[in-house]
Amino acid sequence: MATKKTAQTSTKKTAKKTSRTKSTVAGDADSLTRKRDQETITKIKGMGAHVVSRSLALEEPFVDIPLRTVSNTRFNKKKRILQMGDNTQRRDLFNLGQARKFMQTILLADGCKDLIEADKTLSLRGMYYKSLHTIAGTKERTFDDQAESDPILEDLEVSLGALREELHVFAKEAGKMVGNVTIIDNGDEIDCRHMGSGGYAIPSIVEPRVIQFGKCEAKFVLHVEKGTVWSRFNEDKFWKTHNCILTEGGGQPPRGVRRLLRRLHDELGLPVYCLLDCDPWGHYIYSVIKQGSINLAFESRRMAVPDAKFIGLRADDYQRCDLSDDVKIDLNDRDITRAKQIANYPWFKDKKPWQQEIKKMLSNGFKMEVESLITKDISYVTEIYTPQRIREADFLD
Amino acid sequence: MATKKTAQTSTKKTAKKTSRTKSTVAGDADSLTRKRDQETITKIKGMGAHVVSRSLALEEPFVDIPLRTVSNTRFNKKKRILQMGDNTQRRDLFNLGQARKFMQTILLADGCKDLIEADKTLSLRGMYYKSLHTIAGTKERTFDDQAESDPILEDLEVSLGALREELHVFAKEAGKMVGNVTIIDNGDEIDCRHMGSGGYAIPSIVEPRVIQFGKCEAKFVLHVEKGTVWSRFNEDKFWKTHNCILTEGGGQPPRGVRRLLRRLHDELGLPVYCLLDCDPWGHYIYSVIKQGSINLAFESRRMAVPDAKFIGLRADDYQRCDLSDDVKIDLNDRDITRAKQIANYPWFKDKKPWQQEIKKMLSNGFKMEVESLITKDISYVTEIYTPQRIREADFLD
């Protein structure tokens, strides 16, 4: 480390230049941040102003909340993402069944405004505690538990048209990244080419106000399902030999990972290849990355990666890779029901290769995990399977 | 990035020196690795040789497996860690009830030898697949499922006296780190002072062959329970203002995190302070970090941190911090049973402060989460609560 210090001292001029460049980047991000935060605050104030003006006019205050239901979700064929429809539900203050939720909505909106103004972030649980109190003169608590505040925060997202991240609230975090890219995270330059065996932990909030991209040589992103598979690829330095970025999402990728994949695709123009298990869960993860989740369709426009490709595993790998019977895991009834549901998703329905894939899995009667390729060789997946798929552009779309 | 390159070019001399220093460190680690790996292989070969020599002498081959049971676990008062007793169970080849397990033990031992020789690592699931096959001429599979191979790998650890990590097998990974320390991970220098909002993902295997420590200014380690709390401390740059290292273990910390805490304590002489919830689960996590887990007592000698301190939350914080009733979460029957069990742990039994702590929690009738301090202020925990505890050295031991 001492030598490193000397290096810094002996190149003062350059160092100064570097820091100037860095601070310009940081400055741009800062002003972008302030602008977005200001926009979000304006939206929150707008909601409040509407309530106030109705009240002053002696009219009943309300907020309109877009409906987050399956029936109000549609697949936009042109954009190839799930979108929320136009149906809303009115939340009145002077309605016994709605007054509590109305109060909670305004309370959490106010909490988000506090957060943004303090330039801090909180978890969903943190927001619950922040807005939790007993209403003066009563025994009534603002929230019974977090299960009551979480959906209201989602309501706020959709009614304000602001992502949860823009409200400074974060959800579960999971996932790691390494590869030929530099990330600027809160002003820190993180060289993902030198992250050892551990990797860079992908944060929950990866909006441009926090994360910017530096130099990137990578030609694509390889996203794998689990940390165990990710470790195999990282240990074999796959991202180095194949010049890519390697990510994982701890099963179903949380919002941070999905949003990062989308930004890597949009802003750096990188194709996103997904290596997932050959089972309904793997197919569903792919569907969520590609088209968005039914549950949170309103976020698709900034989370989904409609161009994402599915590398595998695929049902015919059993024959194609000459796998042994030992890799078979019987499909249970739930798997079969799930597989049929997924085959009926509007975005899979018209795709022959996906219909064939799911049909083949069902006729096989078994599922397979990426890890099962270890029965061929420890590094079969990194040295043979994945390179071949990529070389031959042999994907499901 | 271009400017950074210039900086590197213009200090060739220094850079050379740095890289020489680095490669020496890496070289030392390498030779250490080779030595340890060689030792592990020798142990595995010893097990095999014993089986072979018995067979050639026409005697029944067996392996003796130390018992991993509560009754074979004792608390070493002097070392203040949980230890495994001397009771073993013999696993015979010519015993119908034991032959299958005998075969699995030898099979997995052989698999670990392969891994070490190939200088690769695998997850528990990976090891299951690696050793999975149908025995020729039969329909008998070597393992029915992973639930059969996991305990055998633990058997191997204890009978060989080698940590799972030394067998090149890794378990679940979780946990993140930032702070005033540099880590060398697989030769990559990771500056934990510049890891942004994401942090360095703590890998499963943190043995010296993978992880070495570079420069460290930090004076202590603050370990928190969850990622959400960790994010609050990281966002408020607590580790910078208090010159420490900040870790989290995703709930009960996995082996990688525990082993890293132990190494930070042993090798860098850093006190380890734990900030956990005021509930039986938080107390249990502290107990595992400090004394080891009952389940895997054989690993305590290299995982436990008997000097670890418990910062809080504490049952009297409700009064002391003037918290509102809203933070109370009622203890349920399971909590109460668990709390009484923990109070009876040999290492808590003789400690008056812990007896008082658990008694107070039980008489309160409620538990509290670290996040509940948000009801005071978003940053109360980082700006008031924790600094005060540390300043006054007000810990439970």
* A contacts of B133 (beta carbons < 8 Å): 324, 326, 375
How many CB atoms are closer than 10 A to CB B210? 21
Q: Which residues is A176 bridged to in the sheet?
A: A201, A248
CA-nearest of B144, B133, B148, B104 to A325 is B133
Pick the CATH number of B22-59+93-170 from 3.40.50.300, 1.10.10.10, 2.40.30.10, 3.40.190.10: 1.10.10.10
Q: What is the pLDDT of residue A297?
A: 80
B203/A133 touch (CB, cutoff 8 Å), yes or no: no
Nearest CA in chain A to B209: A197
Average pLDDT over residues B161-184: 91
Residue B19 has pLDDT above 50, yes or no: no
Q: Which residue has the higher pLDDT, B3 or B166?
A: B166
> What is the C-alpha separation between A126 and A132, in angstroms, rounded?
10
Residue A346 pLDDT class (50, 70, 90 cuts)? confident
**A153-157 own/partner pairs: CB under 8 Å, 24+ apart:** A153/A108, A153/A124, A153/A127, A154/A68, A154/A296, A155/A65, A155/A68, A155/A105, A156/A105, A156/A108, A156/A109, A156/A112, A157/A298, A157/A299
CATH for A176-391?
3.40.1360.10
A200/B201 touch (CB, cutoff 8 Å), yes or no: yes
> What is the C-alpha separation between A82 and B136, in angstroms, rounded?
50
Q: What tens digit of pLDDT does each residue of A96-144 get?
A: 888 999 999 999 999 999 999 999 999 999 999 999 998 888 888 999 9
Phi, psi of B276 (to 5 degrees): -130, 170
> What is the C-alpha separation between B106 and B108, in angstroms, rounded?
6
Helix axes A352-364, A333-343, angle to 10 degrees: 170
Q: Is B135 on the interface with A (CB under 8 A)?
A: no
* A contacts of B188 (beta carbons < 8 Å): 194-196
Mapped onto helix, strand or coil, the DSSP state of residue A244 is strand
Q: What tens digit of pLDDT does each residue of A308-320 get?
A: 999 989 999 999 9
Of residues A121, A125, A201, nearest to B371 (C-beta): A125
CA-nearest of A360, A273, A263, A259 to A318 is A360
A196/B184 touch (CB, cutoff 8 Å), yes or no: yes
Mapped onto helix, strand or coil, the DSSP state of residue B368 is strand
Q: Is A294 on the interface with B (CB under 8 A)?
A: no
Of residues A185, A199, A327, nearest to B196 (C-beta): A185
Q: What is the mean pLDDT of chain B?
A: 89
CA distance A53 to chain B (A): 30
Residue B255 — left, alpha, or beta (φ > 0 → left; ψ -120 to 50 → alpha)?
alpha
What the block records as the tokens of B191 is 């500056």
Q: What tens digit of pLDDT does each residue of B271-307 get?
A: 999 999 999 999 999 999 999 887 778 888 889 999 9
Picking from A276-290, B65-79, B256-270, B348-362, which range would have the lowest pLDDT averaged per residue?
B65-79
Nearest CA in chain A to B377: A130
Residue A382 pLDDT class (50, 70, 90 cuts)? very high
Residue A225 has pLDDT above 80, yes or no: yes
Q: What is the pLDDT of residue A7?
A: 37
Residue B213 has pLDDT above 70, yes or no: yes
Q: What tens digit of pLDDT does each residue of A13-25 get?
A: 333 344 434 445 5
Q: What is the pLDDT of residue A28?
A: 66
Q: Is B184 on the interface with A (CB under 8 A)?
A: yes
A371/B182 touch (CB, cutoff 8 Å), yes or no: no
How many CB atoms are closer than 10 A to CB B70? 10
In chain A the first and final C-alpha atoms are separated, in Å, by: 48
A326/B200 touch (CB, cutoff 8 Å), yes or no: no
> What is the C-alpha separation between A261 and A289, in angstroms, rounded?
8
Cβ(B145)–Cβ(B98) below 8 Å: no
Please report, rounded to a whole number, the percentage of residues in chain A having pLDDT higher than 70. 93
A378/B1 touch (CB, cutoff 8 Å), yes or no: no
Residues 12-41 of B with CB under 8 A from A: 14-15, 17-18, 21
Q: What tens digit of pLDDT does each residue of B117-157 get?
A: 999 999 999 999 999 999 888 888 999 999 999 999 999 99
Residue A372 has pLDDT above 90, yes or no: yes
Phi, psi of A200 (to 5 degrees): -90, 125
Helices (H) and strands (E) in chain A, counts: 16, 17
Those residues whose C-beta lies under 8 Å from the C-beta of residue B197, and which sit 6 or more positions away, are: A185, A186, A203, A205, A210, A211, B231, B234, B235
Those residues whose C-beta lies under 8 Å from the C-beta of residue A149, and which sit 6 or more positions away, are: A104, A108, A124, A127, A128, A131, A143
Which part of chain B has CATH 1.10.10.10?
A: 22-59+93-170
Q: What tens digit of pLDDT does each residue of B216-262 get?
A: 999 999 999 989 999 999 999 999 999 999 999 988 899 999 999 99
> What is the C-alpha separation between A165 and B259, in angstroms, rounded?
34
Q: Is A231 on the interface with B (CB under 8 A)?
A: yes
Mutate to test the interface with A, among B14, B110, B238 (most CBs of A within 10 A): B14
Which part of chain B has CATH 3.40.1360.10?
A: 176-391
For A370, the enclosing helix (H) or strand (E) is: none
B284 as an active site residue: the answer is: no
Mutate to test the interface with A, among B197, B211, B372 (most CBs of A within 10 A): B197
Of residues A15, A200, A325, nearest to B198 (C-beta): A200
Sign (positive/negative) of CA torsion A248, B227, A280, A301? negative
What ipTM was estimated for this complex? 0.80
Taking the CA atoms of residue B221, residue B225, residue B231 and residue B236 in that order, the dihedral angle to the nearest 10 degrees is -50
> What is the C-alpha separation between A250 and A225, in angstroms, rounded?
6
Mapped onto helix, strand or coil, the DSSP state of residue A199 is coil
How many CB atoms are closer than 10 A to CB A135? 10
Residue B190 has pLDDT above 50, yes or no: yes
What the block records as the tokens of B203 is 């890998």
A231/B325 touch (CB, cutoff 8 Å), yes or no: no
B228/A126 touch (CB, cutoff 8 Å), yes or no: yes
Residue A296 has pLDDT above 90, yes or no: no
Those residues whose C-beta lies under 8 Å from the C-beta of residue A225, and which sit 6 or more positions away, are: A248, A249, A251, A275, A276, A277, A282, A285, A370
Those residues whose C-beta lies under 8 Å from the C-beta of residue B67, and which sit 6 or more positions away, are: B84, B85, B87, B88, B89
> What is the C-alpha separation between B257 and A357, in angstroms, rounded?
40
Average pLDDT over residues B2-14: 38
* B contacts of A6 (beta carbons < 8 Å): 11, 14
Q: Is A369 on the interface with B (CB under 8 A)?
A: yes
How many CB atoms are closer than 10 A to CB B145? 11
B210/A202 touch (CB, cutoff 8 Å), yes or no: no
Mapped onto helix, strand or coil, the DSSP state of residue B189 is strand
Provide the 8-state DSSP code for B277: -
Which residue type occupies B235?
Answer: E
B231/A202 touch (CB, cutoff 8 Å), yes or no: no
